[in-house]
Every structure is written in structure tokens, then in C-alpha cells.
């Protein structure tokens, strides 16, 4: 753990991870900015943002999972210096991601009206429905961005997407200010203004990342092999087969959090608003830990391509240690700031009190969340994706949600009981994924 080899792994993983951390953070900060700025309009608007973002996140993580198939394949090909294969993965990954973005938009736009049948507060649904429809459209540019981002990360180029994500988030906040509140002559669109700001910022992200890949001199060696003839249904299917179990795993996990929002919505708008505050903060730390997870995927995949099995073991374990330490620090900060954080979202004392209680539970499950997300990244580097998806199904849908329902409604603990169920599922997932990696990467 503290040997010279491990210290080198910590260093290498850190320099790969920190740009990915900031880039991944960009995805969730869009939701955070929407929630904070919409929350200034009132509790109903914050509850609607919670419902809308919970549903959209399910679509988001499914798309992200498909795109994640690109990184381990590129990293492995890079370890073998196979430039032709790297270019082939880029071209087919880009087309697959674009097609998936369009299909996800069309599918979920068509079924959006069914939100009305989730037994949520009527006023909340009325605000959430147009908001989430606009968010669905942003899946198309987001999937294009992800194709280029995951390709670059497979080549250990992580800083560029970080800078683009930071710029896009600044743009999103500025557009939120103009479109939510109607500043500088723009119409005051309320919650819908946040959705339009998200869509515009994601289009800009996709265009900037495409320009980097197609015009930067460092990609010349790969552009030589980008031919129409390289488009292959066979390769797209292979990427999909690797990405689909990742999507299922992420869908099982984030879907559980999304369904928990629906269950909390049965309790009322205030409970839903408090849930959104705690979930926002937990999502921020999760996305930051997922940056370490992405670095683990890159390093494990590349070392596997080099045939360095001992290096695979050390890279994976050092990443798990880093993830656990980072989340332990996050837990401490959340507990210290639990009474301050809700003040940034909404002016409702009842929401503040409940959100502070939920933030304590969010802090407690930080360690489990860090271990499970980094464990998933290390296993993706080994292209082990099917069993982890089953672990997620078991942990979240067979353990977390039933436990949360029992504690929340039968035991009368309300939102706190539902969050205790999520904590239980996350802890079981972390243990199972740790032992799964241990089995496939013996020292």
C-alpha cells in the first residue's frame, strides 16, 4: 500500500484522474446549477427539477454506459500501438453513440406523458413535464461529446474534455441566469429556461470536442485510417455488446435512485425537494469518484494490453484505495456542512431540516459508494461487465429499494428510511465488486 510501486501508481492514477474528475463533475453540475437556480423560484420548482432530473438521469446513465465501451478498447489497442484499430473504434463508436442519442431522445420523448401516472403531486408534474422533454433532446449532442471524450481518455488524454466541461458549465450557469429569470431582455422561462440552457451548453460541448479530435495534430496518425469503408455493423455491435452491460449496471444503480425519488414523491413536495438537495451533493461526490474509476479503467486496460498482470493488480488496488480515501474526506465535509448546504437551494425551513438529516446518511454511504464505483472501473478495464451488472441488479433492486420501502412506509421512517435502504444496497455492491476484482486480479 505504501511501497514505491504503489506510490508510482497513485501518482499515475492521480494525473489521469483529476481532469476526468472535473469533466465528469461537469455532467452533474448541470443538474446542481438547475436545482439551485430553479429552487430560488420556490419549493414546487425544486421538486419538479428533482422529478425531472431523476427521470433524465436514468436516460443519461444508459447512454453513458454505451459510450464507456470505447475507452477500454482504445486503451488496450494503444498498449499494443495498433493505430488502425484505434481509428476504427473512434469511427464506429461515434456512429453508434449518435444513433443511440437519437433513439433515446425519441423513445423517452414519446413516453414522457406517462410521468402523469407516477402518483406525484399534480403541480410538480405540470412543471416537470415540459422541462424534462427539453432535457431529453440534449441527449443527442451529449452522446456525440461522449464518443469523442471516451476516445481521447482511452489514449490517456483527459485534460481537454475537462477544459471543455468547465467552459460549458460556466456557459450553462450564465444561460440559466438569463433564461430562468429573464435578464438582459431574454424571456423569463422559469424552470424550462434551465432545460434550454442545458441543451445549448451540450451542443457547444459536442462541437468543441469534435473540433479537438478532428483538427488537433496529435490525432493525425489516426485520421489517416478514418475511411467510410471502416464503418462496420459488426464493430458497432461489438461496442454495443460491451457497453450494454455497463449501461444496465448504471441503469440499475441510478434507476434505483430515480425510483427512490418517485417513492419520496409519494410523501409530498417538501420531501422530494429535500431528497433533491441530498442527492445533488451525493451525485457530485459520486461523479468525482467516477473520475478515479475512469482512470482505473484506462490504466488497467492499458496494462492488460501490455500483458503486465502484476501491474493490473497494483493499478486496480491503488485506485480503490484512492477512491476510499477521497470519499472519506467527502463524508467529513458533508457532515460539517449539512446545515449550511440546504440554504443555497430553497427558503423553506422544513425542507432544510429534512435535507440535513438525509445529508448525514449520504455522508455515511460515501465510503461504500467510492469503493463500488472504482471497483466497477477497474473491472471494465478487464472487460468484465456482465457479472457487475448482475451485482447492481441484486444490490439495488432486490436489496436497496425493498429495504427502503419497508423502512420508509411500513416502519414509518419516511424519506430517511428510503435513504437507509440505498445505503444498504451500496454497501453490499461495494463488498461484492471488491471481491470480484480480487478474484480476477490475484497478486
Q: What angle do CA 224, 226, 232 make, to 5 degrees?
A: 145
Q: What CA–CA distance (Å, rounded) separates 25 from 303?
A: 26
Q: Which of 125, 223, 171 is nearest to 33 (CA)?
A: 171
pLDDT at 6 over 80: no
Answer whether residue 26 shows pLDDT above 80: no
| Cβ contacts of 84 within 8 Å, gap of 6 or more | 225
Q: Which residues contact 336 (CB under 8 A, 6 or more apart)?
A: none
pLDDT at position 295 over 90: no
Range among 64-73, 75-84, 150-159, 200-209 with highest mean pLDDT value: 200-209
Q: Which of 159, 166, 102, 160 minimizes the C-alpha distance to 136?
A: 102
More confident residue, 359 or 6: 359
Quickly tell me which residue has 434505483 as its cell: 256
The mean pLDDT value of the chain amounts to 86
Q: Three cell numbers at 280?
A: 445533488
Task: Assign 402 a pLDDT band (cuts: 50, 70, 90).
Answer: very high
If phi over 0 gives left and psi between -120 and 50 gives alpha, with beta otherwise, what is residue 263? alpha
pLDDT value of position 418: 96
pLDDT bin (cut points 50, 70, 90) of residue 334 is very high
**Grid coordinates representing 30?**
448541470
pLDDT on residue 2: 60
What is the rounded distance in angstroms from the CA atom of residue 358 to the CA atom of residue 362?
A: 6
- Residue tagged 464503418 (cell numbers): 231
The answer to whether residues 71 and 153 touch, using CB atoms and an 8 Å cutoff, is yes
Mean pLDDT of 231-260: 86
Give the pLDDT band (50/70/90) at residue 27: low
Structure-model confidence comparison of residues 363 and 159, the more confident one: 363
Residue 31 pLDDT level (bands cut at 50, 70, 90): low
341-362 mean pLDDT = 90
Model confidence at 164: pLDDT above 70: yes
| CA-based nearest residue to 377, from 249, 279, 192 | 249
Q: Is the pLDDT of residue 273 over 60?
A: yes
Q: Which helix (H) or strand (E) holds 46?
A: helix 43-67
**Band of the pLDDT at 88, cuts 50, 70, 90?**
confident
Picking from 58-67, 326-335, 349-358, which range would have the lowest pLDDT averaged per residue? Answer: 58-67
CA distance 365 to 70: 30
Q: What is the mean pLDDT of residues 192-204?
A: 91
DSSP structure class, residue 441: S
Band (161; pLDDT cuts 50, 70, 90): confident
Q: Which residue has the higher pLDDT, 244 or 441?
A: 244
Q: Which three cell numbers stand for residue 39?
A: 429552487
Answer whether residue 443 shows pLDDT above 60: no
* pLDDT confidence tier of residue 428, bands split at 50, 70 and 90: very high
What does DSSP assign to residue 346?
Answer: -
With a cut of 90, say whether residue 246 has pLDDT above it.
no
Task: Say if residue 286's pLDDT is above 90.
Answer: no
405: which residues sit within 8 A by CB, 6+ positions away?
263, 418, 421
Query: Secondary structure of 177-218 in the HEC alphabet?
Result: HHHHHCCCCCCCCCHHHHHHHHHHHHHHHHHHHHHHHHHCHH
175 vs 191, which has greater pLDDT? 175
- Reply yes or no on whether the pLDDT at 227 is more than 90: no
- Distances in whole angstroms, Cα of residue 19 to Cα of each of 160, 190, 250, 287: 8, 33, 22, 12
Closest listed residue to residue 104, CA positions, set 150, 76, 142, 63: 63
- Measure the CA angle with vertex 329, ends 324 and 335; round to 5°: 125
As a whole number, mean pLDDT of residues 267-293 equals 85
In contact, 374 and 16? CB cutoff 8 Å: no
Query: Distance from CA of residue 155 to its chain's centroid?
Result: 21
Nearest-angstrom CA–CA distance, 266 and 2: 49
Most confident option among 52-61, 177-186, 288-297, 424-433: 424-433
Q: Give pLDDT, residue 376.
A: 92
For residue 169 the three cell numbers come to 458549465
- Residue 358 pLDDT: 95
pTM summary value: 0.79
Q: What angle do CA 57, 382, 373 make, to 5 degrees?
A: 35
The mean per-residue pLDDT over the stretch 124-147 comes to 89
The dihedrals phi and psi of 56, each to the nearest 5 degrees, come to -65, -35
% pLDDT > 70, the chain: 94
Amino acid at each position: 500500500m505504501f511501497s514505491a510501486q504503489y506510490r508510482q501508481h497513485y501518482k499515475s492514477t492521480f494525473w489521469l484522474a483529476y481532469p476526468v474528475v472535473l469533466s465528469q463533475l461537469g455532467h452533474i453540475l448541470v443538474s446542481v446549477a438547475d436545482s439551485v437556480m430553479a429552487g430560488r423560484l420556490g419549493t414546487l420548482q425544486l421538486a419538479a427539477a428533482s422529478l425531472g432530473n431523476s427521470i433524465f438521469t436514468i436516460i443519461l446513465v444508459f447512454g453513458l454506459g454505451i459510450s464507456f465501451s470505447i475507452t477500454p478498447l482504445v486503451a488496450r489497442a494503444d498498449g499494443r500501438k495498433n493505430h488502425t484499430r484505434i481509428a476504427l473504434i473512434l469511427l464506429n463508436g461515434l456512429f453508434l453513440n449518435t444513433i443511440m442519442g437519437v433513439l433515446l431522445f425519441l423513445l423517452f420523448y414519446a413516453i414522457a406523458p406517462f410521468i402523469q401516472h407516477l402518483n406525484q403531486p399534480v403541480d410538480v408534474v405540470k412543471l416537470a413535464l415540459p422541462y424534462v422533454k427539453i432535457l431529453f433532446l440534449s441527449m443527442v449532442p451529449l452522446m456525440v461529446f461522449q464518443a469523442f471524450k471516451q476516445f481521447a481518455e482511452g489514449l490517456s488524454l483527459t485534460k481537454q474534455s475537462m477544459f471543455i466541461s468547465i467552459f460549458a458549465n460556466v456557459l450553462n450557469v450564465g444561460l440559466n441566469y438569463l433564461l430562468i429569470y429573464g435578464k438582459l431582455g431574454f424571456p423569463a422561462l422559469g424552470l424550462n429556461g434551465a432545460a434550454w440552457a442545458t441543451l445549448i451548453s451540450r451542443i457547444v460541448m459536442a462541437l468543441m470536442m469534435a473540433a479537438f479530435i478532428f483538427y488537433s495534430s496529435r490525432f493525425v496518425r489516426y485520421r489517416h485510417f478514418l475511411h467510410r469503408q471502416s464503418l462496420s455493423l459488426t464493430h458497432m455491435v461489438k461496442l454495443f455488446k460491451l457497453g450494454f452491460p455497463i449501461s444496465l449496471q448504471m441503469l440499475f444503480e441510478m434507476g434505483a435512485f430515480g425510483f427512490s425519488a418517485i417513492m419520496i414523491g409519494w410523501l409530498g413536495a417538501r420531501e422530494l425537494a429535500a431528497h433533491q438537495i441530498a442527492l445533488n451533493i451525493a451525485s457530485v461526490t459520486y461523479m468525482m469518484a467516477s473520475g478515479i474509476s475512469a482512470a482505473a479503467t484506462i490504466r488497467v486496460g492499458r496494462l492488460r494490453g501490455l500483458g503486465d498482470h502484476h501491474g493490473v493488480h497494483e493499478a486496480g488496488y491503488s485506485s480503490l484505495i484512492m477512491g476510499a480515501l477521497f470519499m472519506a474526506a467527502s463524508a467529513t465535509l458533508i457532515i460539517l456542512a449539512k446545515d449550511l448546504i440546504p440554504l443555497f437551494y430553497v427558503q423553506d425551513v422544513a425542507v432544510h431540516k429534512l435535507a440535513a438529516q438525509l445529508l448525514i446518511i449520504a455522508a455515511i454511504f460515501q465510503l461504500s459508494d467510492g469503493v463500488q464505483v472504482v471497483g466497477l472501473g477497474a473491472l471494465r478495464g478487464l472487460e468484465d461487465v456482465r457479472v457487475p451488472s448482475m451485482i447492481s441488479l441484486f444490490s439495488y433492486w432486490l436489496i436497496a429499494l425493498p429495504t427502503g420501502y419497508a423502512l420508509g412506509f411500513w416502519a414509518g421512517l419516511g424519506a430517511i428510511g428510503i435513504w437507509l435502504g440505498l445505503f444498504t444496497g451500496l454497501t453490499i455492491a461495494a463488498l461484492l465488486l471488491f471481491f470480484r476484482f480480487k478474484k480476477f486480479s490475484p497478486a
